[in-house]
């Protein structure tokens, strides 16, 4: 190390600085860098929060369409099965299909409530 100022392991050492000043300077710079990083993270979260309601709404609409299509498919399948099987077996299949439709509708209602609460 040279007298005055020198570079030691990438850190510029100033001979006249006291350890207290160096410690305070280090803490100030760390706080500034962390604060800047936190500000960037907060800005990113703000952008996500702005886009979230629209995205959730689109996903919710798509999910509802998928559930309706699945319910229609199940109703259609249970109708085909009922036509091809004997008269005694369609009743349990229709009950099972209706139970599944009821469960899906309950799930959709729960999800709808959750979306409304979160908005």
Helix, coil or strand: residue 12: strand
Whole-number pLDDT of residue 41: 80
User: Looking at the DSSP assignment, which residues form a beta bridge with residue 6?
Assistant: 13
Would you state the pLDDT for residue 12? 55
Q: Can you give the pLDDT at residue 3? A: 41
Considering only CA atoms, which of 12, 9, 10 is closest in space to residue 25? 12
**What is the length of the chain?**
119
The residue extents of the domains of the chain are 5-118
Q: What pLDDT shows up at residue 91?
A: 54
pLDDT along the chain (119 residues), means of 10: 46 60 81 78 79 84 90 82 54 77 87 80
Residues 6+ apart with CB under 8 A from 12: 5, 6
- The pLDDT score that the predictor gives to residue 2 is 42
Region of residue 85 (phi > 0: left; psi between -120 and 50: alpha; otherwise: beta) = beta
Q: What is the pTM of this model?
A: 0.34
Nearest of 31, 29, 32 to residue 12 by alpha carbon: 29
What pLDDT, on a 0 to 100 scale, did the predictor assign at position 31?
Answer: 77
Instruction: Determine which helix (DSSP H) or strand (DSSP E) holds 6, and give its type and residue range.
Output: strand 5-8
């Amino acid at each position: 190390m040279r007298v005055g100022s020198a570079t030691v392991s990438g850190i510029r050492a100033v001979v006249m600085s006291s350890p207290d000043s160096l410690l305070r300077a280090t803490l100030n710079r760390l706080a500034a860098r962390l604060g800047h990083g936190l500000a960037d993270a907060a800005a990113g979260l703000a952008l996500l929060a702005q886009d979230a309601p629209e995205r959730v709404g689109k996903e919710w609409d798509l999910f509802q369409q998928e559930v309706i299509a699945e319910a229609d498919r199940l109703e259609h399948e249970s109708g085909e099965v009922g036509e091809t099987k004997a008269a005694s077996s369609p009743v349990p299949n229709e009950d099972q299909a209706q139970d599944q439709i009821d469960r899906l509708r309950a799930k959709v209602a729960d999800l709808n409530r959750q979306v409304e609460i979160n908005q």
